[in-house]
Amino acid sequence: MKRIFLLFLVICMISCEKVSNEALDSNLLTVEAQIKEGKVAEVYLTNALTFESTIDSLSILESIESKAKVVLSSGEDSEVLTLKRDDNRFPFAFYEGNEIKGETGKEYSLTVSIRGEMFTSTSSIPQKPKILDVEFMDAINEIASNEEVFDLKLTVENNKEIRYFKILAKNVNEIKFSNAKPLIFSSKTLSTTDSFPVFVSYSKEVDGKSANQIKPGESFEISLIAITKEQFDFWKSIKGDQTSFQDNASLSINTPTNISNGAFGYWSGENATTIRIDVPLE
């Protein structure tokens, strides 16, 4: 959610001459919500800071929406999500499901009621992706580095349908997953063969510079996540379709959303395959 919140601030600042004050009103709801296969729903809500406001720690804390009523429905059952806390990310307050768990192919409806307004959306959980093989490759962007680092080549099963994916990564000693690169990609323009390759890098900022983290002797978890077209279109509009190592991201105030009533963000089903990778010393 921190990613969406910060990107929204950038969009507002870049577009301040084109967007009315009403569009930057602090009542604009920002949503990052997903339900994963076999897990309960998680919904993160914030409100947008007005462009004229002072962005400090207090205003950021006040941006967290903690008084909403969030209802999840599977078509057969429904439940009110419970407000929980997770200090390892922002926003630290989020809404979590209780009993309803995601099932592949099933449709789920989300309703958020706040400040007298109602925001609704519907999504379903895509099929689980399958990683067929993993290879280590010399890191493309680290040729000048004296340290040995790697990128990964994932071979992914292709079921000949257009599918949408997100990739996250973390060192096994880290608590939370972070964005890999590419963050998102689609099989729309890829081969119609039984499989296709995806080249993945994982970097973090060290001393103000981006540093590849895939090093000999380290262990990582890579999560290949099947997402909906709606989530893919959202990320593409604000981060770019990063199907290569090139940075071709663009920002647009015309960000697509599948949530009614003008909310910023998405509600999406997800289905992940997560693997552990031990990088050899030699």
> Would you state the pLDDT for residue 36?
97
Cα distance between residue 47 and residue 16, in whole Å: 17
Tell me the two tokens of residue 123: 């999504």
Reported as a pLDDT band with limits 50, 70 and 90, residue 9 is very low
Please report, for residues 87, 127, 172, the alpha-carbon distance to residue 94 in angstroms, rounded to integers and kept in the order given. 11, 26, 25
Contact in structure between 262 and 121 (CB atoms under 8 Å): no
Token pair of 155, please?
């071979």
Q: What tokens appear for 85 in the block?
A: 């806390």
Q: pTM value?
A: 0.82
pLDDT band at 20 (very low <50, low <70, confident <90, very high): very low
Phi, then psi, of 98 in degrees rounded to 5: -115, -55
Residue 161 is given by DSSP the state S
Confidence check: pLDDT of 151 > 80: yes
Locate tokens 């000693």: which residue?
A: 173
> Domains (ranges, CATH) in the chain?
2-124 (2.60.40), 131-256+269-278 (2.60.40)
Residue 208's pLDDT band, with cuts at 50, 70 and 90, is: confident
> Residue 43: its pLDDT value, please?
97
**DSSP strand pairing (29-36 vs 264-278):** parallel
d(CA 72, CA 103): 14
- The mean pLDDT of 100-125, rounded to a whole number, is 96
Tell me if 25 sits within 8 A of 51, measured CB to CB.
Answer: no
Q: According to the model, what pLDDT value does residue 53 have?
A: 40
